[in-house]
Structure 1
């Protein structure tokens, strides 16, 4: 099997790497985090200008018709640079729901604004005590005329405090944990009855707790079947997990490079600490963990196109397990090899570990996905 990138994919990689090298060093990132909403509108505009926001969308919808490999390339680059802009929330999640399940009218109404960078989206799914169960939904959507009335609460909505449109899971029938009866709705963030409480997360991104009280939306707000949206939700969340695996590989890659560079320059007893064999062995183990994660990220990227939903879910879960183990090892070793400065806000290595930790806990931690793989009898 050929794992080499095509000429177009190499050009994409060079393009996004060049953009982030020029506009996204660690000091600049601090300034972006301090901006309103916690990210830079100027950088978001540059991503739009280079076509990165339109990559996964079809040419008919104004995009470039790129696939999972191109998304992997972009997410790995975003991970290396610790980018805080809402690419995952808007393009991968929000755009994924529209791309995979939206009507022609919904695509026409929202996708052009995603591609040009003028609108951002957020996926409001997590509820109290629902943990990682996508089918655990107590928020309700009740029919009113031709439209719907949404009530309920959502928590830790990534980019929820600055998104223009929320994509909300709500139950249209059945019990709280029934697989059937879950709908997916487009809700304007400024709609009457929507209350948003935003806050920064540990990795310098932003999230929000959002309540919906008698929020009225039209019949055209439902994405796909309002009584059977869970298969679409599972597929797009798998897309997000795959994207985060690639982001984690990028963050681990940069963590290893920063650590090796530190070992070369930090001196102890008159010599660089990189000359100590024990520390060399640690760095070598970090490299092995990184390459294991990279391989599983590639596997997950290919698995995203599996037509069998169970096989896709099992492959993505297995990748999340390896990514989770690798990122914890690489992150912890990077901090330890940096010593005390690795714990400070001024050194970037701690920020990489924070982002890696958040990735590990988003849409299922390592233990959760290990149980999923085990329940399927293993990967093979």
Structure 2
């Protein structure tokens, strides 16, 4: 199989590399994280102006018709730079749900704004009791004349504090864990009855708890057929997992580069500690894990836009398991090889370690996806 990038893909990667390198020094990132927005609005606008937020969308909707491979190239660089902007949650996950489930009117109205970076979206599917189960939905939507009334709570809505619209899952029929009866709604977070409690996550990003108290949404705000949203949620979360794997690989690459540079410069007993064979072996182990993770991220990217199937689901679950475990190993080894400085808040390595830990729990941890993979195995 030929893994060489096309000329267009190489240009896309070069654009992302330069953009992150020139705008996302670690000191600048720290200032972005302390701002009220929690990320750089100027950088988000640059992503839109350069067309990076338009990559996954169809050309007729203002996009470039890119595949999972193009998404991988962008997400890897965003991960390398520890970028705080909600590209994954707005463009990939929410944008994918809008593309798959939205009506022609909804897509034509909203997706060009998402593709240009003018509209930031968020996705609210997790609840305090759901624990990675997309079908565990206790937020309720009751039909009434002209629309629906929503009541419930959503947890850890990444970038929900700043979103112009939030895609919310709510149950319109059935009991709490039924796989049918789940619907998607486009929610204006400024609507009466909506409240948000924003907070920083452990890796410096912002999220919020979303509270819905008798919130009215019109019938035009429903995404897709009422009660049939679970298929789209699972498919688009798979695309988000593939993008997240690429982001993790970018962060792991940065950890390996930082660690190798430290081993070459840190002096002990009159020589660089990188000359000690035991440390060389540990560095090699980190690189082996990184190479395996990179291969799985490429495989996940190639499967991300494939038709829904057990094979696609197995591939994405396997990628998440391997990359989560590789990220944990690389982060721990990087910290140990750095010594005490690896844990300090003022040093970028500790932020990569926190980010890799955060990614390991979003969209399901390795144990969750290992169970998913096992369940999908077919015995010939």
Q: TM-score range by the shorter chain?
A: over 0.9
1:13 aligns with 2:2: no
- Give the direction of change, closer, same or farther, for the CA distance of 1:84–1:99 in structure 2 (3 Å limit): same
Match of 1:332 in 2: 332
With 270-279 and 368-377 compared, the bigger mean Cα shift is at 368-377
Distance 2:53 2:285 in 1: 36
Distance 2:38 2:270 in 1: 43
Cα displacement string for residues 242-288 of structure 1 (whole angstroms, at most 9, x for unaligned residues): 10000000000111001000100111111111111111100000000
* Aligned pairs for 1:61-140 within 5 A: 61-140=61-140
Q: Secondary structure, in 3 states, of the residue corresponding to 1:162?
A: coil
**RMSD of aligned C-alpha atoms?**
1.2
Aligned positions, number: 380
Q: Is the 8 A contact 1:314 1:379 kept in 2?
A: no
CA distance in 2, matches of 1:321, 1:378: 19
Matched residues in 1 for 2:42 and 2:307: separation? 38
**Which residue number in structure 2 is paired with residue 30 of structure 1?**
30
- The aligned counterpart of 1:362 is 362
Matched, 1:224 2:224: yes
- Tell me what 2:201 maps to: 201
Q: Report the secondary structure of 1:38's partner residue.
A: coil
Counterpart Cα distance in 1 of 2:227 and 2:37: 34
Contact residue 140 and residue 172 of structure 1 kept, 8 A: yes
Is the Cα contact below 8 Å between 1:373 and 1:379 reproduced in 2? no
- Give distance in 2, aligned partners of 1:68 and 1:225: 26
Alpha-carbon distance between aligned partners in 2 of 1:245 and 1:224, rounded to the nearest angstrom: 28
In structure 2, relative to structure 1, the CA distance for the partners of 1:308 and 1:45 (3 Å cut) is: closer
Decide whether aligned partners of structure 1 residues 37 and 379 sit closer, same or farther in structure 2, where only a CA change above 3 A counts: farther
Asked if 2 retains the 8 angstrom alpha-carbon contact of 1:102 and 1:224, the reply is yes
Deviations 1:328-361 (A, max 9, x none): 0001001111100011001100000100001111
1:282-321 Cα shifts (integer Å, max 9, x gaps)? 0000000001101111111111133243221111001001
Give per-residue Cα distances to partners, 1:154-202, cap 9 Å, x unaligned. Answer: 0111101111111000000001110000000000010110010000000
Deviates more, 1:252-261 or 1:304-313: 304-313
Give matches, 1:253-268, under 5 Å: 253-268=253-268
> Deviation digits for residues 198-252 of structure 1, max 9, x if unmatched?
0000000000001101111111111111111000000111111110000000000
By how many angstroms is 1:378 displaced? 7.3
**TM-score after normalising by structure 1:** 0.98
Give unmatched runs, 5+ long, in structure 2.
none
Instruction: State the match for 1:273 in structure 2.
Output: 273
After superposition, the C-alpha distances for 1:51-71 in whole angstroms (9 at most, x for unaligned) are 001111111111111111100
How far 1:379 moved relative to its partner? 11
Q: In structure 2, how many angstroms separate the alpha carbons of the residues matched to 1:190 and 1:2?
A: 49
Moved more, 27-36 or 275-284: 27-36
Q: Secondary structure at the match of 1:174?
A: coil
| 1:97-141 CA-partner distances (Å, limit 9, x unpaired) | 111221111112211221222221110111121101000001011
Q: Distance in 2 between matches of 1:225 and 1:270?
A: 70
Distance 1:307 1:83 in 2: 30
Tell me how far apart the structure 1 counterparts of residues 132 and 116 of structure 2 sit (CA, whole Å).
Answer: 32
In the TM superposition, what is the alpha-carbon distance from 1:95 to its structure 2 partner? 0.8
Partners of 2:161 and 2:208 within 8 A in 1 = yes
3-state SS of 1:353 partner: helix
Q: Secondary structure at the match of 2:75?
A: helix
TM-score, normalising length: structure 2: 0.98
Q: CA–CA distance in 1 between the matches of 2:239 and 2:207?
A: 20
The whole-number CA distance in structure 2 between the counterparts of 1:379 and 1:40 is: 49
Q: Separation in 2 of the partners of 1:376 and 1:62?
A: 37
Q: 2:2 is matched with which residue?
A: 2
Which deviates further from its counterpart, 145-154 or 194-203? 145-154
The more displaced of 111-120 and 316-325 is 111-120
